[in-house]
A and B are shown apart, each in its own frame.
Chain A
């Protein structure tokens, strides 16, 4: 799903059922264009699980990006109960992300 400065609190910080993976990306960023489809695939595979996966355009929502100190993209942050639990920068494999999310679902 698309996240932005306006819906971030409700969709990410207030989500209680499980982890939330946020892909901080931007249209100008080459590696982000490669990360994007991986995130979509992952979201498809985990759609029935207690987990939320979203993308945030740092250009449009730069307050949120700044708040979490995003200074290189793509950066992926996994939030649990409103707190950033893990920050990953650079392109990430689907398997790695899936494993991390599954571990946090328990």
Chain B
């Protein structure tokens, strides 16, 4: 039995863990990884106090800080949440955990196209992070799906590694900075295919080819490729945790609705960071939200135990 279960171990969750840990609240952070989006960010140049730092390095500092503050971290994917007694039951594939409060900090996930073969071939040629897996495709033929800044970034990066880089864009206008578009267009090994959508990924053990369709002419074609990077943005994953949307209020766009104390509609469930309906998605904002949700959680637990709340509005926990 824990006081606090935090779902997600990135900016928001680890920051919340620092606060609840220092409060001597028994805390476990359940997360698929450390750092979330930060773990795949090459350089962060706007996190106060760090000037410029690599995403994974910043994430590791968060992790160390949370652990030193007393939070336990376990790698697992949360699949379900239920009300149980006065608290909650949180399930992962192999385990169950119980706590008085839950802090939701599980951020966003990369948007998938949703076509046949995509899921089966993920990690076998279909990828979602050019800077992570790109170097494994050195000298190969690859493509990037998308038409925004992150897609152009990926093309630019891959062009320096791969033999040939195609870009499949849905339209002939792009949502990216002009300089970046021009720089990508000037590369000899890049070919931008407008009005092009992927219909299927084909391959038995690894990606062999993609089936494409031109969304103007409906003309179909196939292309042999070793890798395809999908860069079409990020989306909510609230729906992936069973039972959650019955407990908390979810906005039209799929985000968890919170008040200015990080409280959700459900008693004892708090949320922080990109998973919430905050309009700004940034590392420092998620970290701040995490602190806020943790302090709200501490107040909630103190009140529940009938304690004087006195000092709970500031973080003046005893040094460990």
Number of interface residues, chain B, beta carbon within 8 A: 30
Question: What mask results when residues 188 to 201 of chain B are scored 1 for a CB within 8 Å of chain A, else 0?
Answer: 00000000000000
Question: What mask results when residues 53 to 72 of chain B are scored 1 for a CB within 8 Å of chain A, else 0?
Answer: 01110011001000000000
Interface residue from B56, B74, B138 paired with A34 (Cβ < 8 Å):
B56
If A29-B132, A30-B56, A93-B76 touch, whether A69 touches B205 (CB-CB below 8 Å) is yes
Docked CA distance A93–B75 (Å): 6
Docked CA distance A5–B127 (Å): 25
Interface residue from A33, A59, A89, A91 paired with B135 (Cβ < 8 Å):
A59
Chain A interface size, as a band, is 20 to 34
Docked CA distance A44–B57 (Å): 24
Q: Are A91 and B33 in contact (CB under 8 A)?
A: yes
Q: Are A89 and B123 in contact (CB under 8 A)?
A: yes
Measured between beta carbons, the chain A residues less than 8 angstroms from B124 are 69, 71
Q: Are B39 and A26 in contact (CB under 8 A)?
A: no
Task: Tell me, yes or no, whether A92 is within 8 Å of chain B by CB.
Answer: yes
Main secondary structure of the interface of A (DSSP, over half): loop
Q: Which of B54, B60, B133, B206 has the most CB of A within 10 A?
A: B133
7 nearest CB pairs, A to B: A30-B56, A30-B39, A72-B123, A93-B75, A91-B33, A72-B133, A34-B34
Given contacts A31-B34, A71-B137, 7 further A-B contacts (CB under 8 A): A30-B55, A58-B135, A62-B136, A62-B138, A71-B133, A72-B132, A93-B74
